[in-house]
Structure formats: C-alpha cells, structure tokens
Amino acid sequence: MWFAKKTTRADGLLGIETGPEGIALARVQRNPGEAPRLLDCLFRQAAPAEQPALLKRLVAELGLAGVPVNLVLHPATYQMLLLDSPDVPAEELRDALRWRVKDLIPEPIDQVVVDAFTLPEDAYRGRSRMAYCAVLGKGHMQGWLDMLTHAGLKPQSIDVTEMAFRNLGLQAGAEGMNIAVLRLRSSEGLICVQNGADLYMARRIEQGLEHAGDDFATVTLEIQRSLDYFESQLGKGYINRLLLLPAKRNGAATMQALSAGLAVKLQALDLRELFPGQAAAELDEQEQAYCMAAVGAALRQEVR
C-alpha cells in the first residue's frame, strides 16, 4: 500500500501492528530457493501512550536497529471502501479515487491519505472493474512513522489488514485455489477470499464472538452468505478451504460451532505449522491471535 520502498533484506522484513492493547512484532527472512523463516514473533501489552518507548526498547533488546518495517494498520484506524475502478493507468488510480471518496468520508480530503488496489480483471464476471480504497488520517500516519523512526527502524510501507491476511493465505497454500481467511474478534470479524496472490473479496463481519455467546447461528449465517456471494457473484467457483485464525478466547468452541454450520472445509491456521520449529514454536493460541496480522505484514513481498 502506502509508499513502498526498495530496501535490502539481509535482516528480513519486520511486520508491526499497534493496537489498543499493545504491540505485535514479527520478522520474516527470505532467502532464494528457501521457504520464508520466522525469526521473531511476539506481543507485548502496553497502552497507546506507552508504545513508542516499548518499541524502542524491543528494537534494542532484539538487535533490530535499521531493519525495514511494514506497518499493518489496526482495522479500527482506517476505512476500506469498494468502488468502481476508473479507467486509468495503475499509477494514477490513487489520485483518481481520491476525488471519488471525498463525498463518502466525514473528514476533509486534505486531512487524509488514500491508497487503492484493483480487484483482478476476472472478478464480477466481466462487469465493471472494482477497486478497494483505503482511507487513513494524515495525523495518525505521521504519528506511526515518527514512532518507527524514533525506535531506530526503517519504515518501508504501510499495509492494511486485508493484505496482511492475503499474505497469510498465500503462505498457507492459496496458490492455484480459492482460499478464505477468517478472523473473528469480540465485536466484529473479517473474511478475505483470494486465489493465489490475488485478493477477490474482503468483507467485515458485523457480529463477533461477544454477540455469539453460546449461539453461533447468526455469525455462521453471515459468514456463509459472504462465501455464497463469492461463489455466485464473482464467478470463481467454490472455496476450497476456509482458514480460521486463532482467537483470543474460546477458540475450540468457535471452531466446533463453525464446522457444524458452514458448508466448506474449515481449517485452523496455526503459526506453529506454517513455521515449524521457528519463532512461533512456543506461542499459545491467544499469543498467536495477537501476532497474526504482524506475521502477515512481515510476509509482504515486493511486486514489480
């Protein structure tokens, strides 16, 4: 997404997510001809005001000074809009959509930054091409960049959660098949569907685990409707697998309830299986839940 720069990757790429509860950090190293290696993966609790000092301390403790960073935005910090894509070259898409979103957001257009990416050409059965447009406040963006720089890191890019999940799906085997990645939190959820590296759909789930309680019927129905929409409207066939990301609580009960109610193969995504014998080996499900987006950010690859 925003301002991707070319950098050397000898120390790998650091993925960071800051949220209301703390900082998640993951580092992935790629070597030619080898599978990606997860070198660091951790979460530390801290209030937002404490996070700059915490990050600086973690960078010093782990010897990460100068490592390039892909910051993944917490879903509460940005808006994601699905819009008709204008017929312009890729390098002009951002500016073209910037003027389209000015009437769709509450903030003045000069106080936000906008980025966008188009859906694949075969989405929506050849109808109008669509694009996802992310909108972020300039003040928030500058604050995060200052925090990363102050900690001794090299900001390389800023990504959205949807793209971080796309990277997780690709690492989990999405090449050549339709895979959906699902995260359920207390108040909401997110489901993303991809084929290979191409993201076809990203939808927020309005009901979360807190609303579900002991009855997952409403949440399951909303998830199934999203899957049905992909299969019927986007024309890419059925979904081969639905990958459920770890939850901070009640993971086993959620897995059991969804398995019974969804017409798709459901599989728990476990970092210990994606990166056997590496930095995630000792992480329990709750710790993985906090770290998943950061790992997805660290899996980012530059695309020509």
Q: pLDDT digit string (tens) for 256-280? A: 999 999 999 999 999 999 999 999 9
Range of the domain at 294: 1-77+135-172+271-304
Same domain for 11 and 153, yes or no, is: yes
Q: pLDDT digit string (tens) for 101-121? A: 988 999 999 999 999 999 988
Classify strands 266-268 and 241-244 as parallel, antiparallel or unpaired.
parallel
Q: CA triplet 258, 227, 243: central angle to 5 degrees?
A: 55
Structure tokens at 224: 């199934």
Same domain for 71 and 84, yes or no, is: no
Q: pLDDT digit string (tens) for 205-255? A: 988 888 776 678 889 999 999 999 888 877 778 999 999 999 998 889 899
Strand order in the sheet with 13-18: 37-45, 22-29, 13-18, 68-72, 154-159
Same domain for 143 and 196, yes or no, is: no
Same domain for 11 and 143, yes or no, is: yes
Q: In angstroms, rounded to a whole number, what is the distance separating the alpha carbons of residues 220 and 216?
A: 6
On the question of pLDDT at 304 being above 80, the answer is no
Same domain for 290 and 144, yes or no, is: yes
Report the CATH number at residue 126. 3.30.1490
Same domain for 158 and 230, yes or no, is: no
Report the domain count for the chain.
3
Residue 96 CA from chain centroid, whole number: 24
Same domain for 225 and 180, yes or no, is: yes
Percent of the chain with pLDDT over 90: 75
Same domain for 256 and 202, yes or no, is: yes
